[in-house]
């Protein structure tokens, strides 16, 4: 009996040891295998799906590259792998809040990336701040989100207030005699922020805004607005998002509107805009980033900034290889949102929210996407203050096919802008 008990105790001890070996990883193994969940909603369907999918493609490329490189390398030698978790928000605000709550509570998200568009990102920002999660916004240019007292929301885009103002400067260069500007815009958060700033800027420069009228999101018939554009107008500006702006550009062409410049939001920088054919020629668009952008380590050095991440050429070729299409600024925005988190985790040496937040607050660097620096004042915390826009115009190449050229600012242009031809 005594011998039996001894065997039993011995057996239990061995079993305990075996269990302990299998269930208790060593401290170094825990550090090496840490995985953070980066969560977001994607507008896979609905009116924002073109821009939304480009953004998600960019973000997924970053996830793939980081994990292929063994994860985010922390200073102590540990690596943090990234797991992406997302749902389709159908381009609807009401779905966004429900899904972000789920991503945080059920899917245990560590960091968040915003959905595409200012309206959806604004809805997600409330949830991120409420649950104490850092959210990098991509495709969310509206200024107002960052002026609500949030402390964990960071903007990767140039704010809406600086989105189209360069078009006025370009118009002055293109035709110094130009005086009349018509602004037709989508009545959503982002576009309204952009055109309010544009109107104030244009009037400040002595331009006369002869038409300033908004259309409802989802509008398909722009004839009532086009008919209101007075004859002799020098520039037509505005638009909103991809679908409506593309339709607006198409109908401006069909109605043969004569003007010197057409500068629209969001749609023109998208490669898909070229499907309009003749209707896209001469249309100008403001872009957060272009594959022709000349951001380099040398430029960073000259500006006294740290260079971080891959080059413009590497990003463009990796994106083309994976998705078989040219990346747009929406794609670059998605990628850079991940890059910001990567750099912040590396600097913080941890995936802890407070430490990563401190690293992002202190960030001032240059990447393939341009300069990144965030406002840290309580008044506009997280607002992007380092990044600048470029302006593209659709022109024709030697074969007569539509091709994008950077036409503004003067320093980075690849071709000179031209006045809209007679239609």
Partner 1 sequence: MLAQLLPSLTDGLLLGFVYGVAAMGLSLIWGVMTVINLSHGPVIALGMFATYLLFTHLGVNPYLALVAVAAFGMLLGFLIYGVAVHRVLNAPHLSTLLATFAVNMIIIGVGTAVFTTSPHNIDFPLGSWEIGPLTLPATRLVATLGAVVITGALYLFLYFTRPGKAIRAVANNRQAAELMGIPSARILALSFGLGTMLAAVSGGLIATFFPFTILSGGPYELKSFVICVLGGLGNPLGALLGGLLLGGLEGLIPTFMPVSWVPVVEFGLFVLVLLVRPSGLLGAK
Nearest distance in Å: CB 234, partner 1: 18
> Residues in contact with partner 1, total (CB under 8 A)?
29
Does 196 engage in binding with partner 1 (CB under 8 A)?
Answer: no
Sign of CA dihedral 267, 272, 278, 281: positive
| Torsion angle defined by CA atoms of residues 212, 218, 219 and 220, in that order, rounded to the nearest 10 degrees | 140
Token pair for residue 77?
């030698």
Does 192 engage in binding with partner 1 (CB under 8 A)?
Answer: no
Can you list the positions of beta strands (E) in 105-179?
111-113, 135-137, 153-155
Does 232 engage in binding with partner 1 (CB under 8 A)?
Answer: no
d(CA 274, CA 321): 21
Q: Which of 56, 82, 183, 243 binds partner 1 (CB under 8 A)?
A: 243
d(CA 81, CA 247): 42
DSSP classification of residue 117: S
Which residue number, 53 or 341, has a Cβ lying nearer to partner 1? 53
Of 48-77, which residues contact partner 1 (CB under 8 A)? 49-50
Phi, psi dihedrals of residue 93, rounded to the nearest 5°: -60, -40
Which residue number, 148 or 187, has a Cβ lying nearer to partner 1? 187
d(CA 233, CA 291): 32
Rg (CA), the chain: 25
Q: Which of 38, 39, 47, 164 binds partner 1 (CB under 8 A)?
A: 47
The helix or strand, by DSSP H or E, that contains position 306, with its residue range, turns out to be strand 306-307
Interface pattern 5-44 for partner 1 (x via CB under 8 A): ---------------------------------------x
Does 326 engage in binding with partner 1 (CB under 8 A)?
Answer: no
d(CA 137, CA 383): 10
Does 221 engage in binding with partner 1 (CB under 8 A)?
Answer: yes
Residues listed for the chain = 423
Does 213 engage in binding with partner 1 (CB under 8 A)?
Answer: yes
Token pair for residue 150?
């949030």
Does 397 engage in binding with partner 1 (CB under 8 A)?
Answer: no
Distances (CA, A) of 201 to 13, 158, 205, 310: 78, 16, 6, 35
Does 247 engage in binding with partner 1 (CB under 8 A)?
Answer: yes
Q: Which 3 state secondary structure label does DSSP give 333?
A: helix
Scanning 54-62, 76-84, 222-230, 321-329 for contacts with partner 1 by CB under 8 A, the matching segment is: 222-230
Q: Which of 14, 69, 223, 313 binds partner 1 (CB under 8 A)?
A: 223
Does 94 engage in binding with partner 1 (CB under 8 A)?
Answer: no
Scanning 6-14, 26-34, 68-76, 251-259 for contacts with partner 1 by CB under 8 A, the matching segment is: 251-259
Q: Which of 81, 255, 355, 373 binds partner 1 (CB under 8 A)?
A: 255
Q: Which residues pair with 180 in a beta bridge?
A: 208
Binding residues (CB under 8 A) for partner 1: these are 44-47, 49-50, 90-91, 187, 213-216, 220-221, 223-225, 227-228, 231, 243, 247, 251, 254-256, 275, 277
């Amino acid at each position: 009996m005594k011998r039996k008990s001894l065997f039993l105790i011995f057996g239990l001890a061995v079993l305990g040891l075996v269990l302990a070996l299998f269930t208790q990883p060593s401290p170094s193994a825990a550090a090496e295998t840490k995985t953070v969940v980066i969560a977001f909603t994607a507008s896979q369907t609905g009116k924002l799906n073109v821009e939304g999918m480009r953004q998600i493609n960019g973000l997924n490329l970053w996830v793939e590259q980081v994990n292929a490189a063994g994860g985010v390398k922390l200073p102590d030698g540990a690596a943090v792998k990234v797991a992406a978790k997302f749902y389709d928000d159908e381009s609807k605000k009401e779905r966004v809040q429900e899904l972000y709550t789920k991503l945080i509570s059920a899917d245990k998200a560590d960091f968040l990336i915003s959905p595409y568009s200012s309206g959806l990102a604004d809805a997600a920002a409330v949830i991120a701040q409420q649950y104490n999660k850092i959210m990098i916004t991509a495709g969310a240019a509206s200024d107002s989100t960052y002026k609500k007292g949030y402390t964990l929301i960071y903007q990767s885009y140039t704010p809406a207030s600086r989105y189209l103002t360069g078009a006025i400067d370009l118009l002055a260069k293109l035709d110094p005699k130009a005086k009349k500007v018509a602004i037709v815009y989508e009545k959503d958060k982002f576009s309204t922020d952009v055109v309010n700033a544009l109107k104030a800027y244009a009037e400040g420069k002595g331009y006369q805004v002869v038409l300033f009228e908004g259309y409802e999101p989802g509008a398909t018939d722009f004839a009532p607005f086009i008919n209101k554009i007075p004859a002799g107008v020098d520039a037509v500006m505005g638009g909103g998002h991809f679908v409506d702006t593309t339709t607006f550009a198409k109908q401006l062409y069909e109605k043969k509107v004569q003007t010197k410049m057409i500068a629209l939001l969001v749609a023109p920088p998208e490669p898909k805009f070229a499907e309009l054919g003749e209707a896209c020629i001469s249309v100008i668009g403001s872009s957060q980033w272009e594959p022709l952008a000349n951001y380099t380590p040398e430029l960073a050095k000259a500006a006294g900034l740290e260079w971080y991440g891959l080059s413009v050429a590497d990003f463009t070729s990796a994106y083309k290889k994976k998705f078989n299409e040219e990346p747009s600024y929406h794609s670059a925005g998605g990628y850079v949102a991940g890059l910001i988190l990567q750099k912040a985790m590396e600097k913080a040496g941890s995936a802890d929210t407070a430490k990563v937040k401190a690293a992002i607050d202190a960030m001032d660097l240059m990447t393939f996407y341009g300069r990144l620096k965030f406002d840290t004042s309580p008044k506009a915390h997280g607002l992007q203050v380092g990044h600048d826009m470029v302006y593209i115009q659709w022109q024709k190449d030697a074969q007569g096919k539509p091709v994008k050229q950077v036409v503004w600012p003067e320093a980075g242009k690849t071709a000179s802008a031209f006045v809209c031809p007679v239609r």
